[in-house]
């Protein structure tokens, strides 16, 4: 039998990733005085985990909700609606590009990537962005280097990859651990896979 593969022919930062993965990065943003702050993105299609400065956010695009956790104190909060509905994951794991122009190919962490000049928004806050993104054939944004514009002030934004693991994500990373307590009471909604 022949299997039909839905993988893209080339990288495209205007599409969501086509595989599950975990990406460790360092983020530098002058706007919040962050210098080489470690972050981790765990991507499993319509569900994600974003770890940044001791806070974990579980994001569920089907429910259009996110839930914050603080692992250090084993606490989580009730789910909140995503402020501006999201059709895909790009605002959390890369750049929500409105346009992208391919500039050439390079290699990052031993993987071939395509470098693009992209315009759109970045991060959950949807900060207007213009700059370069390096994207794998699976549409994983590996590196970002450009300028964000907030309150009419332009600031540099750099996201540098440290490690990429492509493969099935442990489902436990996408739910609240059973030994965590909810701040302000019990909420079983995000424990749907326990």
Radius of gyration, alpha carbons of the chain: 17
Residues present in the chain in total: 194
In the prediction, which pLDDT does 2 show?
A: 34
Question: What's the mean pLDDT in 27-51?
Answer: 83
In the prediction, which pLDDT does 63 show?
A: 93
Let me know how many helices (H) and strands (E) the chain has, helices first: 1, 13
Tens of pLDDT, residues 62-96: 999 999 999 999 999 999 998 877 788 887 788 88
Q: What percent of the chain has pLDDT over 70?
A: 86
Q: Band the pLDDT of 34: cuts 50, 70, 90.
A: low
Task: Tell me how far the alpha carbon of residue 126 is from its chain's centroid.
Answer: 12
Least confident of 35-49, 108-122, 128-142, 145-159: 145-159
Domains and CATH numbers, the chain: 21-186 (2.50.20)
CB-based contact 112:137 (threshold 8 Å):
yes
Look-up: residue for tokens 């280097």?
145
In the prediction, which pLDDT does 5 show?
A: 37
pTM, rounded to two decimals = 0.84
């Amino acid at each position: 039998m022949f299997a039909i593969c839905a993988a893209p022919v080339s990288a495209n930062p205007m599409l969501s990733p086509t595989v599950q993965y975990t990406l460790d990065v360092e983020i530098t943003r002058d706007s919040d005085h962050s210098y080489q702050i470690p972050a981790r993105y765990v991507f499993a299609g319509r569900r994600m985990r974003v770890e940044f400065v001791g806070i974990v956010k579980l994001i569920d695009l089907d429910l259009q909700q996110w839930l914050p956790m603080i692992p250090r104190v084993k606490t989580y909060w009730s789910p909140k609606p995503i402020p501006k509905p999201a059709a895909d994951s790009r605002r959390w794991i890369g750049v929500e590009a409105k346009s992208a122009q391919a500039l050439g190919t390079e290699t990052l962490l031993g993987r071939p990537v395509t470098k693009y000049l992209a315009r759109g928004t970045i991060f959950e806050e949807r900060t207007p962005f213009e700059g370069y993104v390096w994207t794998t054939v699976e549409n994983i944004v590996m590196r970002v280097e450009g300028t964000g514009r907030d309150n009419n002030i332009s600031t540099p934004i750099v996201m540098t990859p440290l490690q990429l693991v492509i493969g099935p994500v442990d489902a436990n990373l996408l739910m609240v651990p059973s030994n965590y307590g909810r701040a302000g009471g019990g909420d079983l909604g995000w424990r749907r896979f326990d």
